[in-house]
Amino acid sequence: MATLNLNAIKKSFGTADVLHDISLAIEDKEFVVFVGPSGCGKSTLLRIIAGLEEASSGSIVIGGEDVSHAAPVDRGISMVFQSYALYPHLSVYENIAFPLRVQKMPKEELDARVKRAADILQLTEKLQLKPGQLSGGQRQRVAIGRSIVREPKVFLFDEPLSNLDAALRGDMRVELSQLHRELDATMVYVTHDQVEAMTMADRIVVLNAGKVEQFGTPMELYHHPATKFVASFIGQPNMNFVPAKVRDIVGGLTVDLEGGHQMTLPVETEGVQIGDTVDVGIRPEHVTLGDDGLEISVNVLERLGGVSISYGTIGKTTRFCASLPGDAPISEGTTIRLTVAAEDCHVFQSNGQVLRRKSAPALVA
Ligand code: ADP
Ligand code: MG
């Protein structure tokens, strides 16, 4: 069992508080992705798990064992970095075998482990080559091989694909997901790329300024973002936020959106007052072209074939992006009307917290 528990982890560098009270329970064999903007504390948290950095307070438990003060080598973890430092003068085989040589592992077992890792990573044909003879993606696979042979309880990855070009990153995403299935291991993966997070994770931790904004499955974060930050971070193109004034709070939340449209949204209205300003979150893919609804000025239209992405404004200056059918009969410099279902709208208070949706009404027998 390789569960990973973080209990109230805090970290300060001098007077700078970088991590605030982070608690997470990661399950055995789970693939968890930490995602957030640059500087939010992802690497620091990963380095604390690895034992490369000490937490200011809090504890780390791996497989039921408190490792808060254990040395990195005694934690049963293995870390792969963005810059994969391979030894240029050693063969692929020796690069992968390196940590086992350090452990003085008997030859036969070492050989079996290196060959198995090479097989999983499709490096069998490359074992005698030097790193300089490999592509970027192959080199990153050698670095991953070096961490596989140690048979860690938990794999840690810090933006391992950031140095690769876009096409290769896409391929490696698929390979890493396959690797996770084959190894059946607990993995924690750090990235600032929400597409990597959405496509690879069993569950995602969204970090913002050293705090956990939300921890959930990709679809939970997409359909039920807890905060405006999560809503703006997850989903492509990004969610639109339209400022609105609260007109009524009985039987849902009735708002006047900037640009003049009125809607009643099925959300809890506790703590909301008439006259408050809220943000109505609308995903670009949740609107349809119609004869009424939101009035949008189209500034730029990108025809991608299957879809057309319209970039425009609602009201005076609020940006509004819409994802429409590829052959949508619209053009730049015109005004269009878009409808959106009330159930597809998210409402955020000025403090960024979402107003919970009303649960579906109970069926009357
Ligand atoms: P991320 O990986 O999310 O981009 P980091 O964990 O690297 O973010 O950094 C989080 C914050 O902690 C940043 O403001 C960074 O400047 C600061 N920081 C990281 N390491 C140190 C350090 N050794 N000394 C001082 N500040 C640091
Ligand atoms: Mg980092």
CB 3 within 8 A of CB 28: yes
Whole-number pLDDT of residue 203: 98
Atom of ligand 1 nearest to the CA of 37: 3
Q: Which residues contact 254 (CB under 8 A, 6 or more apart)?
A: 246, 247, 248, 262, 263, 264, 265
Residue, of 253 and 164, whose pLDDT is higher: 253
For the chain, the domains span 4-232, 238-348
42 lines ligand 1 (CB under 6 A): yes
Is the pLDDT confidence value at 360 over 80? no
Whole-prediction pTM: 0.91
pLDDT of residue 224: 95
- Indicate if the pLDDT at residue 361 is higher than 60: no
* Confidence tier at 289 by pLDDT (50, 70, 90): very high
Q: Is 208 in the pocket of ligand 1 (CB under 6 A)?
A: no
Which residue minimizes the CA distance to atom 24 of ligand 1? 13
For ligand 1, say whether the CB of 18 is within 6 Å of any of its atoms.
yes
Does the C-beta of 35 come closer than 6 Å to ligand 1?
A: no
Mean pLDDT calculated for residue range 211-237: 96
Considering only the top CATH level, what class is 238-348?
A: mainly beta
* 38 touches ligand 1 (CB under 6 Å): yes
Q: Whose CA is nearest to atom 2 of ligand 1?
A: 43
CB 59 within 8 A of CB 66: yes
Q: What is the pLDDT of residue 169?
A: 85
Secondary structure of residue 155 in the 3-state scheme: strand
Which pLDDT band holds residue 1 (cuts at 50, 70, 90)? low
* pLDDT, averaged across the chain: 94
Pairing between β-strand 57-62 and β-strand 16-26 as defined by DSSP bridges: unpaired
Rounded distance from Cα 35 to ligand 2 centre (Å)? 10
pLDDT at 122: 87
Backbone CA torsion sign across 135, 140, 143, 144: negative
Q: What is the pLDDT of residues 178-214, one digit of tens each?
A: 889 988 899 999 999 999 999 999 999 999 999 999 9
| Ligand nearest the Cα atom of residue 36 | 1
CB-count exposure of residue 100 (10 Å: 0-12, 13-18, 19+): buried
Per-residue pLDDT band at 227 (split at 50, 70, 90)? very high
- Ligand 1 atom with the shortest distance to the CA of 190: 2
Whole-number Å distance, alpha carbon 50 to ligand 1 midpoint, is 15
How far is Cα 244 from Cα 264, in angstroms, rounded to an integer? 12
Return the SS3 of 240: strand
With beta carbons less than 8 A apart as the criterion, state whether 77 and 152 touch. yes
Task: State in Å: Cα 85 to ligand 1 middle.
Answer: 21
Question: pLDDT-derived band of residue 166, with 50, 70 and 90 as boundaries?
Answer: confident
Looking at residue 321, its pLDDT comes to 98
199 three-state secondary structure: helix
- pLDDT above 70 covers a percentage of the chain that reads 98
Contact 131, 138 (CB under 8 A): no
Other residues' Cβ atoms within 10 Å of the Cβ of residue 205: 25
Residues within 5 Å of ion ligand 2, judged at the Cβ atom: 43
43 lines ligand 1 (CB under 6 A): yes
Q: At residue 365, does pLDDT exceed 60?
A: no
How does pLDDT run across 66-100, given as a tens digit for each residue?
A: 999 999 989 999 998 887 789 999 999 999 999 99
**What topology is assigned to 4-232 in CATH?**
Rossmann fold (3.40.50)
Q: Is residue 37 lining ligand 1, measured as CB closer than 6 Å?
A: no
What pLDDT does residue 85 have?
A: 83
User: Rounded to whole angstroms, how far apart are CA atoms 161 and 172?
Assistant: 7
Per-residue pLDDT, 167: 82
Question: Please, which pLDDT band fits residue 364 given cuts at 50, 70 and 90?
Answer: low
In angstroms, the CA 60 to CA 70 distance is 10
- CA-nearest residue, atom 7 of ligand 1: 43
pLDDT class of 143 with cuts at 50, 70, 90: very high
